[in-house]
Amino acid sequence: MTDNRLVDRFGRSINYLRISVTDRCDLRCVYCMSEHMTFLPREQLLTLEEIDRIAATFIELGVDRIRITGGEPLVRRNVLELFRDLGRHQGLRDLTLTTNGSQLERFADDLSAAGVTRVNISLDTLRADRFKAITRIGDLDKTLRGIDAAIDAGFDRVKINSVILRGHNHDEVLDLVDFAVERGIDISFIEEMPLGDNGDHRAGDVHYSSHRIREDLAGRYRLIASAERTGGPARYYSVEGHPATRIGFISPHSHNFCDDCNRVRLTSEGLLLLCLGQEHSVDLRHVLRAHPGDDARLRQAIIDAMQIKPKGHEFDLDSHTVLLRHMNMTGG
Ligand code: SAM
Ligand code: SF4
């Protein structure tokens, strides 16, 4: 039974859950992590069964879209089993994945068979030396092979996510769109959000606005604004002459997208975060482990949590760190 009960104090219906299945990653992107990270001890993580149980409860409560993210979701041991379990839930319309692509060559076909509908792959640059500099340890070729594997695996949509940083990769926005257009896939440009202490790296120093990116693209591509909204921060455009590619702009600084927010996030240790840019949370791992098998209590904890969903984020580019949480805790 689909019974949409997840409505917050501001009348927003919540139908979208993002789940971070691990805080670990095989890369160390400068805007996401510091070079030397301490990761959670494994016993603090939700088990895959616990994640599926929480997901099932959200689905009962009307959530029909789930995105799996991290950290790097594909480095979590046995993660395919989770995708297979999630893919079996009636009522889930959209099961999606955000990944850095490094393991996709190996996983793409199985993910597609498990019911994953769409995949977002992070790719900030097409130059191997820059890729190494931004990710600190990554190998561009592996990610490119992962993108090819995703395209071949037959997902409904494949999308590139590019975080654009002034002085690091802002001169590649046209090349990145060419890359997407040539392959008939989508691309979203993301403005960096100031999360966590990433050492010397500061979002405010490298900010490159979506507005600037649109100006950069204008010489080669005509973008046509689309009415499509996902309830998230992205604004989408179609590209004249290239119907297979849409371009998204995720602009937390230039656009306030909170009014029609439809989403909440589950961290790998089981905290239900009500807003990416605020600390309001409920510890669902505690609810699960303190009351094993008590489905009603879990359900009620989720319903009650909607009452503390804040009105919006308060990202501030001028302060070094707004939130202590790194992006790998929440998965973006
Ligand atoms: N490891 C996977 C990946 O890189 O796609 C999934 C997790 S990653 C945290 C999800 C998305 O968040 C990626 O597209 C990444 O580029 C983006 N991201 C990470 N840190 C960010 C930040 N500080 N501001 C904006 N986007 C960020
Ligand atoms: Fe890993 Fe993704 Fe964060 Fe990069 S953005 S360090 S790939 S979790």
Q: Is the CB of 245 under 6 A from ligand 1?
A: no
What is Dmax (Cα atoms) for the chain?
Answer: 59
Across 43-48, average pLDDT: 96
Mean pLDDT for all residues in the chain:
91
DSSP 8-class letter at 122: E
Q: Is residue 295 part of a domain?
A: no
Instruction: Please give the distance, rounded to the nearest whole angstrom, from the Cα atom of residue 226 to the centre of ligand 1.
Output: 24
- Vertex 267: Cα angle to 262 and 272 (nearest 5): 55
Alpha helices (H) in the chain, listed in sequence order = 48-60, 79-87, 104-114, 128-135, 140-153, 173-183, 210-218, 284-290, 295-305, 327-330
Q: Is the CB of 146 under 6 A from ligand 2?
A: no
Q: Is residue 275 part of a domain?
A: yes
Give me the pLDDT at residue 222, please. 97
| Site to substitute for ligand 2 among 67, 97, 123, 327, most atoms within 8 A of C-beta | 327
Q: Which CATH number do you get for residue 190?
A: 3.20.20.70
CA 199 to chain centre: 22
Q: What is the C-alpha to C-alpha distance for residues 300 and 302, in angstroms, rounded to an integer?
A: 5
* Residues 131/145, Cβ–Cβ less than 8 Å: no
- Asked whether the predicted pLDDT for residue 313 surpasses 90, the reply is no
Instruction: Please give the distance, rounded to the nearest whole angstrom, from the Cα atom of residue 327 to the centre of ligand 1.
Output: 6
Q: Is residue 177 part of a domain?
A: yes
Whole domain around residue 228: which residue ranges?
A: 16-51+63-283+309-330
Residue pLDDT, tens place only, 146-188 = 999 999 999 999 999 999 999 999 999 999 999 999 999 999 9
Atom number of ligand 2 nearest to Cα 326: 3
- Asked whether the predicted pLDDT for residue 321 surpasses 60, the reply is no
Q: What is the reported pTM?
A: 0.93
DSSP 8-class letter at 219: T
Q: Is residue 157 part of a domain?
A: yes
Instruction: Tell me phi and psi for residue 255, to 5 degrees.
Output: -135, 135
Q: Is residue 242 part of a domain?
A: yes
Instruction: Please give the distance, rounded to the nearest whole angstrom, from the Cα atom of residue 150 to the centre of ligand 2.
Output: 18
Q: Is residue 135 part of a domain?
A: yes
CA 10 to chain centre: 24
Q: How many separate domains does the chain show?
A: 1
Q: Is residue 4 part of a domain?
A: no
Q: What is the C-alpha to C-alpha distance for residues 221 and 208, in angstroms, rounded to an integer?
A: 19
Instruction: Please give the distance, rounded to the nearest whole angstrom, from the Cα atom of residue 27 to the centre of ligand 1.
Output: 11
HSE-up (13 A, CA, CB side) for residue 264: 34
Instruction: Please give the distance, rounded to the nearest whole angstrom, from the Cα atom of residue 1 to the centre of ligand 1.
Output: 34
Atom number of ligand 2 nearest to Cα 25: 1
Of the pLDDT bands very low, low, confident and very high (cuts 50, 70, 90), residue 317 is low
Q: Is the CB of 23 under 6 A from ligand 1?
A: no
Q: Is residue 316 part of a domain?
A: yes
Give me the pLDDT at residue 332, please. 63
Strands 186-190 and 242-250: parallel
